[in-house]
Structure 1
Amino acid sequence: MSARTRRQKALAAQGSEGEESPDGNGAVLTPSKKRTPSKKRSRSAVRQEKKKENVFLFAPNLIGYSRIVLAIASLYYMPLHPRTCSLLYSVSCLLDALDGYAARYFNQSTTFGAVLDMVTDRCSTACLLVFLSSAWPRWAIVFQGLISLDLASHYMHMYAMLSMGGQNQSHKNVEATRNWLLYQYYHSKVVLFICCGLNELFFIGLYLLSFSSPTLSPSLLQPVADAQPSSAQPGNPAHPAPASLFASPWSAGALELARANKIDSYWPWVVTSISAPVMLFKQFVNVVQLINASQWLAEGDVETRRANKKK
């Protein structure tokens, strides 16, 4: 066998064992110098794994932040500017449906986003009911009860879902065997949107009626207390400028003056009347949710106590 034949066999054996191959200059590429496509893909995958997603900048969460800004702005205008407040509050409520759509469209559904959405809803409604309590003190206990029911039912429901269903369990994933009404309420987007939307619309209607309906707010027909007598002659000391009557724009007198700037009560009455049945149904769902969550937590306590006794 010639030397050339032996050299070719040796190179072939090295290529089969060490995956070596000659380059253009006749040199042998060792495995350490060779980069296969599979290694390139693996390193790219590692770099992608190291790059973390910023959940706080997801599209639905950005919409949630805008809802908070609009809600705070509506609270700022709430005492004196009912039209501006109602517009800002309504837009904030409508964005509640948009963030859910964005989460499904961009595949960015997160636990943080779900909690942010629920907390924003609860806080916004509570703040509006606090204002209604101050507008109608004799009905304050009703509004305080609605605030307590709303917070208690959602908190206990979410806590029950987390403790009994697991950390990654959404509070909307209610099984039909657990409660048929809650299953229909949370699994039908149309039902959920109508109930939540008309519930907020009812309270917005009440808010507008506090500025427009003397029937519900008799103080609208009464003069502001401690107001000086007016005179038909401009510049008369008995007819001071409004700024001197109410030095502070946030005083009780300024609030009454703003409420005396009547707005037509027809549409607020229509909105309140239409949405009232849905609001009552929403409160009934809250009661059912509270009872169901309490029963679920009690069942978990019984199972835990039974397991501890067997140890």
Structure 2
Amino acid sequence: MSARTRRQKAALAAEGNESEESANGNGTVSTPSKRAPSKKRSSSKLNEEPKENIFLFAPNLIGYSRIVLAIASLYYMPLHPRTCSLLYSVSCLLDALDGYAARYFNQSTTFGAVLDMVTDRCTTACLLVFLSSAWPRWAIVFQSLICLDMASHYMHMYATLSMGGSNMSHKKIDSERSWILYQYYHSKTVLFICCGANELFFIGLYLLSFSSPVLSPSLLQPVPDAQPSSAQPGTPANPALSSLFASPWSAGALEMARANKVDSTFPWIITLVSLPIMAFKQYVNVIQMINASKWLAEGDIAARRANKK
């Protein structure tokens, strides 16, 4: 082969390389064999991204602490009203803190919202169960409040998820659907005051079950034919609990715990002040249940029409 022929072939090869470089637009020659490894590297980087542990988010950790405090308050509820009220109150106050933490750390999750709602419903129900035993004549009222609270929030949550979509929050209420619910959930201040006053009312009733002779006069009456030195309810003597009853969870221990009453002034104040707000909260529960029922009925009507077509 002559030198001229070799030069022509080299020139043609150089022109081919330049055309490939201009087609790529970046001055480099790319071939299928060189692109494949880049895809593998990109997919491996996606797989190496750390997975978030929803259960260890800050607001959910606060929710777990609420559960622990609530269980502790239930343990002290029959005999130690001051300790129980303190633990229960702290658990309720943390309800506002977990929402703030979720917004601050951008960790709002569906699991956290459900955990918060379930904790609220269960703790309130347990306190109402105790009030039902403290005042049997009013047990039907407390039982009705438990049913209303559970049914209202369950139906509202179910309607939100089934009609509004899985990504829709139960606190996002359309003002055209219910103005009262919109004001209730839209304002964090209104929501905090209503929920806080509702719990304060029941805490006040709980403390009055240990303190008020007006509401429970039989608890402060001495037992007939009792010896003056015995520590029956209503007598000045007050020996250690273990010296009177073999079991601190007996009925006699409960009566004595109520006889060692706390001052009723503060319980009366928080009960009477929070009563109107508690009544409004129950009214909101009724409106919420009715609104959720109508929303579900609209979905049923739309589904039936679709099936007929």
Q: TM-score, with normalisation over the residues of structure 1?
A: 0.84
- Equivalents in 2 of 1:69, 1:16: separation in Å? 72
1:129–1:144 Cα contact (<8 Å) kept: yes
1:34–1:167 Cα change, 3 Å = closer
Q: Within the alignment, does 1:219 sit opposite 2:218 as a pair? A: yes
1:240–1:215 Cα change, 3 Å = closer
- Equivalents in 2 of 1:298, 1:282: separation in Å? 24
One-letter amino acid matched to 1:125: T
Greater CA drift, 126-135 or 6-15: 6-15
Q: Deviations over 1:192-244 (max 9, x none)?
A: 0110011001111111111111111113312358x952449xxxxxx997535
Give the one of 213, 216, 227 matched to 1:229.
227
**What's the offset of the Cα at 1:9?**
7.8
What residue in structure 2 maps to residue 115 of structure 1? 114
What residue in structure 1 maps to residue 128 of structure 2? 129
1:29–1:184 Cα change, 3 Å = closer
- Equivalents in 2 of 1:57, 1:139: separation in Å? 41
- Equivalents in 2 of 1:240, 1:271: separation in Å? 31
What residue in structure 2 maps to residue 269 of structure 1? 268
1:13–1:158 Cα change, 3 Å = same
1:6–1:306 Cα change, 3 Å = closer
RMSD: 3.1
Aligned residue for 1:169, secondary structure, equals: coil
**What's the offset of the Cα at 1:112?**
0.7
What residue in structure 2 maps to residue 171 of structure 1? 170
Give aligned pairs, total: 296
What residue in structure 1 maps to residue 242 of structure 2? 243
1:249–1:167 Cα change, 3 Å = same
- Equivalents in 2 of 1:41, 1:173: separation in Å? 39
- Equivalents in 1 of 2:60, 2:52: separation in Å? 13
**What's the offset of the Cα at 1:31?**
8.0
- Equivalents in 2 of 1:86, 1:194: separation in Å? 18
What residue in structure 1 maps to residue 20 of structure 2? 17
Q: Deviations over 1:133-157 (max 9, x none)?
A: 1111111111001001000111111
What residue in structure 2 maps to residue 25 of structure 1? none
1:70–1:88 Cα contact (<8 Å) kept: yes
1:5–1:53 Cα change, 3 Å = farther
What residue in structure 1 maps to residue 56 of structure 2? 57
What residue in structure 2 maps to residue 191 of structure 1? 190
2:210–2:259 Cα contact (<8 Å) kept: yes
- Equivalents in 1 of 2:196, 2:187: separation in Å? 14
- Equivalents in 2 of 1:285, 1:143: separation in Å? 17
- Equivalents in 1 of 2:42, 2:75: separation in Å? 55
Q: Deviations over 1:33-74 (max 9, x none)?
A: 7999998666534422xx322111111111111110000000
Q: Within the alignment, does 1:66 sit opposite 2:60 as a pair? A: no
- Equivalents in 2 of 1:308, 1:131: separation in Å? 49
What residue in structure 2 maps to residue 235 of structure 1? none
**What's the offset of the Cα at 1:263?**
1.0
One-letter amino acid matched to 1:214: P
Which residues in structure 2 correspond to 1:198-213 (within 5 Å)?
198-213=197-212
Q: Deviations over 1:263-305 (max 9, x none)?
A: 1111111111111110000000001111111111122222222
1:33–1:240 Cα change, 3 Å = closer
- Equivalents in 1 of 2:47, 2:253: separation in Å? 64
Which residues in structure 2 correspond to 1:34-113 (within 5 Å)?
43-48=44-49, 51-113=50-112
